Structure 1
Amino acid sequence: MPLVTIALPVRNAGERIDRVARSVLGQDHPDLEFLICDNASDDDTAERCRALAADDPRVRYHRQPENIGILPNFMSASRLASGEYFRWVSDDDVLEPTLVSRSLEVFGKDARLVNVTSQTSYKGDDGVVSTSPFTETGLGSDDPLVRFTTMLRLLNASHLLIDPLYGLLRRDVLLSLPRRNMLREDEVMATKLALAGPWGHVDEVLAHRHWKTEKPAVLARRLGVPSWQAHCATTLEFLEVYRWVGDPENTPELTDGQRRRAQAAVRAAWARRERRVAEHRTRKLARLATGRDTR
């Protein structure tokens, strides 16, 4: 059976470590590595992780000598992993025991696949748990342009449909794609993975996550990126995607005509996102003007 690495990039998780560790180590797939990348925590995270590693040989604990930032710690986890297949997990996630085995079943039926996602439930800031089935077929297409435009459409849809970077990935494909520290880099990476190859999906709720709403300025501070990026995050995101997909060195699987069509799709997706943001702001201003917005 293939070795699967589930990696937890973490900083100051404290007691949350114990619950996520139970769900990872409770997987019914026998060949498992649980890799914890501790980004120089200054609470009791290190002690908890060392205890886990001492109790279970499947646990590997790596501690960064200093805080290297959120994205570099995520990238470090994918490089340090040993598994042929790889998945990230967050410190407040819970995985069903069959997540890995069900995902590998899908990989086993289709050698083309680079990523297998599953239906996920999300607990919002209000405590309400929500989920939604995923019925899109475009990500499974042999045509990279179809996969790319499908992903662009999904990035402007509900987050309940798919969590692109929290699927089970072929690690060699993941490592072949560069990443850049910026706001919404996860969405940029999702488009690169869509171009890299077809995806599969398990239409069962196999993961449970928290959906956190953070203002761009707060997230910029956490990521260590310039604060001005918070004011133009959408434009920077789509500009990054536009440049990537237009470069033949990055997208040899596309023809020149497909690249032009892909860039046109990026412009359209950017415009849709900007219209949605403008409409949201207009509605908020209207509520403020009528005294109905008490936030």
Structure 2
Amino acid sequence: MLVDRGCRLCVGIPVYNEAEYLPRMLDSLKAQTYGEVTYLVCDNHSTDGSWDLIQDRCAGDERFALHRHAENIGAAKNSEFLFRNSTSEYFMWLGAHDLISPGLLEKSVRCLDEDPGVALAAGRPFRFVGDSEPAFMPEAVYDFSRRRVERYLQSVRLLANCTMFYSVFRRSSLDDLEFRHVRGLDHVMLSRLLWHGEARFLEDEIYFRRYFDGARPVDYSQRITGNREVLTMHDLVVYYLDDLRKLYRGDARILRHLESLVIGILADRYTLQSLHAQDDREYWMNHS
């Protein structure tokens, strides 16, 4: 079982068949200048030797806490497992095939410490494929409003490249979030974080996000759930609405108006012809 050492920051790394990329990722963690951190690494029953590699590369480094599931529980549950097994003030998810610059954790924590109005601190987003030279992704940088409701609605409308999901954030913002295994789980999480505060992109630190040539060997729904369950956009709409009801504590009439705006935005974004669950499920079964 994972052991949270009571540090101010926990970084959760969900792993599934990442043996080829793990050495560089782990080296980027070991090179971090911030010391008050626990790295929670959870292997989702990999079949490519990832678990043995993790144990070997992390041996003797007390910053690392390791766990392996007895079966593949899906990426969403694995990510939730990492979050639920932490008690830190700040939290971050890190892709097991990605990299971060050496000062990213230290400067992220400093940013959050210095400005309580910031909900998440993110590295400048760069993408790379294989051994290619990393390239800046301007489409992954957002300039959201300073006003809460407007910022939230902007996130529902605009979030496409969600690299800033891999940011350091105040974990209390997600404490009462119900983790649902839906398409766009990261969208709902980011919108919730932006309800609580602003996003800050660090000038001098980088999040290196790995992209892959061609399709991944497992389709999206199977990767998220660990099975053949079909994930639909209808589920995302319902998830957004249910979470908005937790976030907004004001006048019921304004809440209904906000709900209507969210429905309209998502219907336009994803060209939903119907908000009936069965209609949407049949569509995605035929188009996944």
Offset, 1:148: 0.9
Q: CA separation of 1:17/1:124 partners in 2, compared to 1, >3 Å: closer, same or farther? A: closer
Q: Give the one of 104, 110, 115 matched to 1:105.
A: 110
Question: Which residue is equivalent to 2:98?
Answer: 93
Q: Give the one of 17, 21, 27 matched to 1:16.
A: 21
Question: Which residue is equivalent to 1:285?
Answer: none
Residue 121, structure 1, aligned to residue 126, structure 2: yes
Residue 151, structure 1, aligned to residue 155, structure 2: yes
Counterpart Cα distance in 2 of 1:78 and 1:243: 21
Offset, 1:180: 0.3
CA offsets per residue over residues 229-267 of structure 1, 9 Å max, x none? 3xxx3343223213432x3xx124443344233223213
CA offsets per residue over residues 197-254 of structure 1, 9 Å max, x none? 4433324451110245769x9211222365543xxx3343223213432x3xx12444
Offset, 1:58: 0.9
Q: What letter corresponds to residue 35 of structure 1 in structure 2?
A: L
Q: TM-score, normalised by structure 2?
A: 0.79
How many residue pairs are counted as aligned between the two chains? 263
The equivalences for 1:4-153 within 5 A come to 4-123=9-128, 129-132=135-138, 134=141, 136-138=143-145, 141=146, 143-153=147-157
Counterpart Cα distance in 2 of 1:148 and 1:180: 19
Unaligned 5+ runs, structure 2: 1-6, 274-288
Offset, 1:130: 4.0
Identity, in percent, stands at 21
Question: Which residue is equivalent to 1:270?
Answer: 266
CA contact (8 A) 2:95 2:166 kept: no
Offset, 1:82: 4.7
Question: Which residue is equivalent to 1:251?
Answer: 247
Q: Secondary structure at the match of 2:29?
A: helix
The equivalences for 1:131-210 within 5 A come to 131-132=137-138, 134=141, 136-138=143-145, 141=146, 143-155=147-159, 157=160, 159=161, 163-210=163-210
Question: Which has more helix, going by share of residues?
Answer: 1
Offset, 1:85: 1.2
**In angstroms, what is the RMSD of aligned CA positions?**
3.0
Q: What letter corresponds to residue 136 of structure 1 in structure 2?
A: D
CA contact (8 A) 1:145 1:254 kept: no
Offset, 1:163: 2.6
Q: CA separation of 1:274/1:22 partners in 2, compared to 1, >3 Å: closer, same or farther? A: same
Moved more, 200-209 or 11-20: 200-209
Q: TM-score, normalised by structure 1?
A: 0.77
Unaligned 5+ runs, structure 1: 278-295
CA contact (8 A) 2:173 2:192 kept: no
Counterpart Cα distance in 2 of 1:174 and 1:87: 12
Larger Rg: 1
Offset, 1:12: 1.8
Counterpart Cα distance in 2 of 1:3 and 1:197: 19
CA offsets per residue over residues 102-155 of structure 1, 9 Å max, x none? 212211221233322232112369x683411735141xx3x4312211211322
Question: Which residue is equivalent to 1:237?
Answer: 236
CA contact (8 A) 2:163 2:209 kept: no
Counterpart Cα distance in 2 of 1:180 and 1:88: 17
Q: Secondary structure at the match of 1:272?
A: helix
